[in-house]
Structure 1
């Protein structure tokens, strides 16, 4: 796949530069938008709202998550990318570097709201100082806690932990309720789950995971070792549910929906799904060991396919997605996270302070930046999961030091 993509980079770049830019941007053109299945509902909501008020029409096609990267690679190989395509934001540096998206630097710099667009997503879609993608959807990691179990444990359900040490104390107190109740839960056999929920504690403590260009890892830092040691202790003590060790992701939400877990980091979008099962749930930022707060700003980025001949019309859609109409009436109305930081408090989120809290983290969180991120950190066969398992269920310091070297080799592969 990499060889195929590398072979078409120059062709794609040439095609992007030669894209037609004639006529009105809203002239009745039909535009294709590809997305992965995880983002399909949001992509279609954007499309429906845009189509209702524009002559142009967006047609959304979704592909299974696991098949999507290969589908894009195949389309790039035959110079037939869609007019627009979204992708997991951690792929953005790779796709930008490979020339799969058209350069939108001039258009983005002219946006009146550019300074309020999620900064970590903008960075993820930037390559060598040029902009190639905008945010499409936002997913955040937060602390989710069971208010009823807090009350039973003698804790104040309106006072979530403000440090990771306090999180551990709360989890231990809840675990003492006994029976089938456990203090916490985590995805101990899922590299993506761990990076999404543990890295914010490192960032909140002033540490980092990668260098600025994503070619050198810093997982052997004292901050990372402290975070892993805390979770390892909770597992060794039996405070973390035994299921944490084998959790690969698919049953992670279900564990929190069962009402038997006191507090755990997880995606903010799970709030409604947990409460739908009758679990009264609180939401708080993920803290560092002794304070601070951060989040992993995940979700999807979107750009104009480099082989599209409809770049002007495609930009009309992208620019519209940055509008207050799109971010409030499409995203916030669905209880989603607006990617504009100035819209964290809006007429929908203001009805639920938990949503305002989550939305406000967009400006504080980070999106990891590395061209080879997926193969290094998300692939179950990659070096990150090996380091995770060693750090959570063995010796954090030695496992992270060994893992750092292996991760560096992966990050630097061409």
Structure 2
């Protein structure tokens, strides 16, 4: 297949009659296509001749030049297979999903036809009443590789055996670190810390470099603080909730250890900076400019640093999630698309076809590494290829085998930098029930640990436990 240069991608998409608009909304998707039959609600793929208009959110926006160009190209390529499908794609800038905005969207019921959510949003999404049961539409014909998807992924797609969502990303948390700062601090960049004691010691050495450099940073707001608390708790063997999911379990020795260590790093070691990191995007500029040595994150953090913030591709290493005595358990999560209720069968089939094409097909969409390599060679904008990321399928699946071969041919990043992460796989634990609500509560605990030198951490955690129990009792 001939690949389009980045300068032509947007034009190709527009010439194909596709719309990339900031105004796409649920009215596009729920009203149906006025000049096409509704279609049949079954497990057959979309008829290539069907005429249908759909809408989808979370398309790359103005801050993602490479991603935006690729997406436009993919829309055009999809049009060659489904010439009568029009996709209204709603772009985003910064973070695709902001919890407060999502809550308002669910309340107003104004989602796009296919709408983004995180694994943590399942309860809120289903409680909104807007998610369509797509079980009858999904199989190995409409979604090749469906039967080979990992159990941890399928668990987040389904409820009571019914399929409600399709995955587009799956991750396990690790340690993102600046290899250059490691070298300057006398640390081995090929051997990142694998325990929290080692991480704390490394952070002190990096902070000793001076010039406004700190060894480590962590979140304390915007639901991201509670998210990282959960990840760190899991890494020590702790639990967020009891086995029946009805009570909080984080007010434990492990939970207290998380907060105490962060408090010590901030106020005793001074290896965490004084400026709170309260929103998802706030963490990345200090990393990209070499002012922070280490941060917990999924591999796509490296992609963001390179492509969005222009960081040096060679500067970054990935290590496993630190634990108590070695690599610890890792928080697993990801992104999904739900399908909105009230659409015609053909709209649902078209959305499934697009999601499969763009996010789940080797050598296509996000896995089109050959195209990405061509773009990297011709574009002034940085393009990161071969970020190690857990995918949706079992290791022996045809999908994983095809993706692995493509990366060997087309990757442009120093894969050896990520060996500590790749060669030390950790157990993945899924996010807790009512995750976003619990994360919001625990933001306060994380903030206290890193902003209040005199914080009573036991009291803070006990208060969070009480609030969490009220939420869990109503699930």
**Fold shared per TM-score above 0.5:** yes
| 1:143 match: secondary structure | strand
Residue 322 of structure 2 is aligned with which of 274, 282, 287?
A: 287
- The yes-or-no answer on 1:143 pairing with 2:164 is no
- Within the candidate set 278, 288, 296, 1:265 is matched to 296
- Conservation of the 8 A alpha-carbon contact between 2:363 and 2:406: no
CA contact (8 A) 2:331 2:430 kept: yes
Q: Distance in 2 between matches of 1:345 and 1:358?
A: 16
Residue of structure 2 in register with 1:230 after alignment:
261
Residue 235 of structure 1, CA deviation? 0.8
CA distance in 2, matches of 1:262, 1:158: 14
Report the Cα offset of residue 90 of structure 1: 1.9
Work out whether residues 51 and 58 of structure 1, in 8 Å CA contact, stay in contact via their aligned partners in 2. Answer: no
- Superposition TM-score, scaled by structure 2 size: 0.69
Q: Is 1:75 matched with 2:109?
A: yes
Selected match of 1:184 from 213, 216, 240: 216
Task: Quote the residue 1:21 is aligned against.
Answer: 41
Residue 217 to residue 34, structure 1, CA distance change in 2 (3 Å): farther
2-structure distance, mates of 1:210, 1:287: 21
Q: Residue deviations 1:352-402, cap 9 Å, x none?
A: 4256776899984344142x4334424xxxx22223234454344442232
Q: Residue 348 of structure 1 aligns to a residue in which SS? A: helix
Residue of structure 1 in register with 2:195 after alignment: 163
Cα RMSD (Å) of the superposition? 3.7
* CA offset digits 1:32-65 (Å, max 9, x no partner): 2332477895894664553343344433124684
| Of 377, 391, 408, the match for 2:439 | 377
Q: What's the counterpart of residue 100 of structure 1?
A: 130
Give the total of aligned pairs: 387
The answer to whether the 8 A contact 1:142-1:197 is kept is no
CA positional deviation for 1:211: 4.5
Q: How far apart in 1 are the matches of 2:423 and 2:360?
A: 17
Q: 1:289 to 1:65 in 2, by over 3 A?
A: same
Deviates more, 1:67-76 or 1:251-260: 67-76
Please report how far the alpha carbon of residue 248 of structure 1 lies from its aligned counterpart in structure 2 after TM superposition.
Answer: 4.2
Measured against aligned partners, the alpha-carbon deviations of 1:4-46 in whole angstroms (never above 9, x if no partner) come to xxxxxxxxxxxxxx98427861333334233247789589466
Residue ranges of structure 1 left out of the alignment (5+ in a row): 1-17
How many Å separate the matches in 2 of 1:273 and 1:318?
22
The normalised TM-score by structure 1 is: 0.77
- How much has 1:152 moved relative to structure 2? 2.1
C-alpha distance in structure 1 between counterparts of 2:464 and 2:144, whole Å = 43
Q: Which residue of 1 aligns with 2:468?
A: 407
Distance 1:389 1:218, change over 3 A: same
TM-aligned CA deviation for residue 233 of structure 1: 1.2
Q: 1:176 to 1:112 in 2, by over 3 A?
A: same
Deviation at 1:115, TM superposition (A): 5.1
Counterpart check, 1:239 vs 2:256 = no
| Paired residues for 1:81-120 under 5 Å | 82-108=112-138, 110=140, 113-114=145-146, 116-117=148-149, 119-120=151-152
> Whole-Å Cα distance in 1 between the matches of residues 331 and 363 of structure 2?
26
Gaps of 5+ in 2: 1-37, 373-383
| In structure 2, C-alpha distance between the alignment counterparts of 1:403 and 1:173, rounded to whole Å | 33
